[in-house]
Amino acid sequence: MATMTLVQAIHDALALEMERDPRVVLLGEDIGRNGGVFRATEGLWERFGPERVIDTPLAEAGIVGMAIGMSLNGLRPVAEIQFADFIFPAFEQIVSELAKFRYRSAGQFIAPVVIRTPSGGGIKGGHYHSQSPEAYFIHTAGLKVAMPSTPADAKGLLAAAMRDPDPVIFFEPKALYRTAKGEVPEGDFTVPLGKARTVRAGEDVSLITYGATVHVAEEAAALAQEEGIGVDLLDLRTLWPLDIEAVVRSVERTGRAVVLHEAPRTCGFGAELVALIQEKAFLHLKAPVARVTGFDTPFPYALEKLYIPDARRVLDAIRAAVSF
């Protein structure tokens, strides 16, 4: 075990997989000589050469389109989109192409591309350096979507994504890049896609989240504990395909649930979680499933702190659920 920040864990996964598998190539803006604007690829250009760590022109459609083509022809490309906010020029390639290759060719052509991209707020980045666009991709059949909350998961999930036969959109909570530190297994290590992690067990209310808000949730759960409320806290890790069993098992036990994310509320992933929970555990529910989310506005600059759910908002929702 080594202690790493989340961005170091990402780096570790990339370096190990590149070492292990010569088919792995990285491409994106400023990922080469500059080592990535968040330094996730630092030193890899020097180590693996500019043919495998590729600085591209400024065109996300080109980055993803090129990655798709690479994957069709046997490489395992990892595309970096510098900020999740800039993924939209590549939306056509992702939604119309990446997600549909296997299906439309009935398995003849597959596109196992990983798209890594920093998402979420917390760095005073305003509209375009803060968004959490995961719901767009969860709604798109054919994609897998993951988001780690700890360095160990960051390494393990990314390695798993890089070995997965399907395209994976891998969101990295940029607020955690340097603030999340933890023990990370050294060398070869994967965390399977599709398995949630119980962060803490509790009997009174399920709290379901992923990414940066896992830490907010932990804070809220600790505060709730002080009030005698036991929180069953689930970190989804893979958003889609969801670990539905873990979710249902928890809610069946607690009968109450709060879902938490930073992304805007309306048609966010929280809505899907609510829908699934009430479909699968209706008779266990003692209170409506509550959503604690970002606001239905563009991501603000000055009011960032207000926008991002904090422990107090989560605690309020926990209390409301328990006292419903």
Ligand X SMILES: Cc1ncc(C[n+]2csc(CCOP(=O)(O)OP(=O)(O)O)c2C)c(N)n1
Q: Which does 192 bind (CB under 5 to 8 A by kind): other proteins, a copy of itself, ligand X, none?
A: none
Q: Which stretch binds ligand X (CB under 6 A): 81-89, 112-120, 206-214, 292-300?
A: 81-89
HEC profile for the chain? Answer: CEEEEHHHHHHHHHHHHHHHCCCEEEEECCCCCCCCCCCCCCCHHHHHCCCCEEECCCCHHHHHHHHHHHHHCCCEEEEECCCHHHCHHHHHHHHHHHCCHHHHCCCCCCCCCEEEEEECCCCCCHHHCCCCCHHHHHCCCCCEEECCCCHHHHHHHHHHHHHCCCCEEEEEEHHHCCCCEEEECCCCCCCCCCCCEEEECCCCEEEEECCCHHHHHHHHHHHHHHCCCCEEEEECCEEECCCHHHHHHHHHHHCCEEEEEEEECCCCHHHHHHHHHHHHCHHHCCCCCEEEEECCCCCCCCCHHHHCCCHHHHHHHHHHHHCC
Kindly state the smallest distance separating residue 286's Cβ from ligand X, in Å.
47
Kindly state the smallest distance separating residue 157's Cβ from ligand X, in Å.
24
Site residues for a copy of itself per CB under 8 A? 85, 88-89, 91-92, 95-96, 99-100, 103-104, 127-128, 135-136, 138-139, 141-142, 240, 264, 266-272, 274-275, 278-279, 282, 287-291, 295-298
Q: Is residue 282 packed enough to be buried (19+ CB in 10 Å), middle (13-18) or exposed (0-12)?
A: exposed
Q: Which stretch binds ligand X (CB under 6 A): 18-26, 82-90, 202-210, 283-291?
A: 82-90
Lay out the site mask for ligand X across 60-79 (x = CB under 6 A, - = otherwise): x-------------------
Annotation says 11 is catalytic: no
Kindly state the smallest distance separating residue 283's Cβ from ligand X, in Å.
47
Q: Given candidates 8, 41, 56, 82, which one binds ligand X under the rule CB under 6 A? A: 82
Buried b (16+ CB within 10 A) or exposed e, 137-154: bbebebbbbbbbbbbbbb
Kindly state the smallest distance separating residue 187's Cβ from other proteins, in Å.
26
Kindly state the smallest distance separating residue 210's Cβ from a copy of itself, in Å.
14
Q: Which does 138 bind (CB under 5 to 8 A by kind): a copy of itself, ligand X, other proteins, none?
A: a copy of itself
Q: Are 145 and 114 in contact (CB under 8 A)?
A: no
Closer Cβ to a copy of itself, 92 or 183, answer by number = 92
- Write out the two tokens for 36: 């990535």
* Shortest-Cβ-distance residue relative to ligand X: 86
Q: Which does 3 bind (CB under 5 to 8 A by kind): other proteins, ligand X, a copy of itself, none?
A: none
Candidates 175, 217, 207, 229; CA nearest to 5 is 175
Q: Which does 1 bind (CB under 5 to 8 A by kind): ligand X, other proteins, a copy of itself, none?
A: none
Q: Given candidates 39, 62, 72, 86, which one binds ligand X under the rule CB under 6 A? A: 86
Query: Catalytic residue among 11, 127, 129, 139, which?
Result: 129
Told to check if 89 binds ligand X by CB under 6 A, we report yes
Q: Which does 287 bind (CB under 5 to 8 A by kind): a copy of itself, other proteins, ligand X, none?
A: a copy of itself
Told to check if 306 binds ligand X by CB under 6 A, we report no
Closer Cβ to a copy of itself, 2 or 141, answer by number = 141
Task: Please give the residue ranges that form the binding site for ligand X (CB under 6 A).
Answer: 29, 58, 60, 82, 86, 89
